[in-house]
């Protein structure tokens, strides 16, 4: 299952992040059904401040749709084996030892029996405006917006350390998306899939991210009040994939 996150065939993919603290029961149902009808590739669950049961959310989503559910944990409190894919995130852009290895040591005994679900990801936080929730909660400085060289070196280091994907993150509620220059520069230097999220609020943002080299885009805040963004994201993805198959 986790191998489906890889885009070695060149196909672009869309993920919708559902933070259980930002949706009520009807809202979760609406976004899940919209994601299903639009053809979303993945449903990510989790968040920086999430205290609502992620287990419950995952079970609800699985009852509503066949889309693979990916755990995108913001803390150890969100660990669960119910997800189809578990992202083991190492915040390699920061120097907080707990987010580099400390939490992983605590989680390892819990995850060792479901290692086929676990995908190690180099998580790189990019400053995209005011301090975001993930930046504040992690107490880890973000890479400056236009410092593509630092982002590239960090991403390459993550791949060399054995991480199976790189995630460029603007943060929940980011003022703007990760720079296309940074996405392009990182994509040119790594061989693993590139994921990007944060600040993607309109079709043009998604098109720019895909054009720059993102393999997977993640939308969250942008579709909380505008589920039409889900349709837009899948339409843009379909256009890219159609062109790639010609």
Please give the mean pLDDT across all residues of the chain: 91
pLDDT at 1 over 60: no
pLDDT of residue 77: 84
Query: For the chain, what is the domain count?
Result: 1
| Cα dihedral sign, 196-199-151-184 | positive
Query: Does the residue 3 lie in any domain?
Result: no
For residue 113, give both structure tokens: 């029996």
Residues 11-54 have pLDDT tens digits of 999 999 998 888 888 999 999 999 999 999 999 998 766 666 78
Neighbours of 80 (CB within 10 A): 20
- Asked, for residue 2, whether it belongs to a domain, the answer is no
- Look at residue 14 and tell me if it is in a domain: yes
Q: Is residue 20 in a domain?
A: yes
Q: How far apart are CA 152 and CA 186, in angstroms?
A: 5
d(CA 2, CA 233): 22
Task: Decide the pairing of beta strands 118-125 and 13-18.
Answer: unpaired
* Residue 147: other Cβ atoms inside 10 A: 16
Tell whether 208 is covered by a domain. yes
DSSP state of 100: I
Distance in Å from the first CA to the final CA of the chain: 27
pTM summary value: 0.93
Inside any domain, residue 1: no
Domain that holds residue 204: 9-244
Burial class (CB in 10 A: 0-12, 13-18, 19+), 183: buried
Query: What are phi and psi for residue 125, nearest 5 degrees?
Result: -90, 125
- CATH of residue 88: 3.20.20.390
Question: pLDDT tens, 128-143?
Answer: 878 777 777 787 789 9
Residue-level pLDDT at 5: 67
């Amino acid at each position: 299952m986790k191998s489906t996150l890889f885009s070695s065939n060149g196909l672009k993919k869309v993920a919708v992040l559902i933070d259980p603290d930002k949706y009520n029961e009807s809202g979760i149902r609406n976004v899940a059904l919209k994601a299903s009808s639009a053809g979303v590739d993945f449903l990510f669950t989790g968040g920086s401040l999430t205290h609502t049961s992620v287990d419950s959310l995952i079970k609800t989503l699985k009852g509503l749709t066949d889309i693979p559910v990916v755990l995108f944990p913001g803390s150890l409190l969100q660990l669960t084996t119910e997800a189809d894919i578990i992202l083991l995130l190492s915040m390699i852009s920061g120097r907080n030892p707990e987010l580099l290895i400390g939490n992983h040591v605590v989680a390892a005994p819990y995850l060792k029996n479901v290692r086929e679900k676990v995908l190690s990801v180099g998580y790189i936080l990019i400053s995209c405006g005011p301090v975001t929730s993930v930046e504040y909660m992690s107490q880890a400085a973000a890479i400056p917006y236009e410092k593509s060289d630092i982002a590239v070196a960090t991403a390459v280091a993550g791949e060399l350390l054995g991480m199976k994907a790189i995630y460029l993150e603007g943060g929940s509620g980011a003022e703007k998306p990760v720079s296309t220059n940074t996405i392009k520069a990182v994509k040119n230097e790594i061989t693993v899939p590139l994921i990007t999220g944060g600040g993607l609020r309109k079709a043009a943002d998604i098109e720019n991210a895909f054009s720059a080299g993102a393999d997977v885009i993640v939308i969250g805040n942008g579709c909380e009040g505008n589920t039409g963004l889900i349709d837009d994201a899948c339409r843009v993805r379909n256009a890219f994939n159609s062109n790639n198959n010609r």
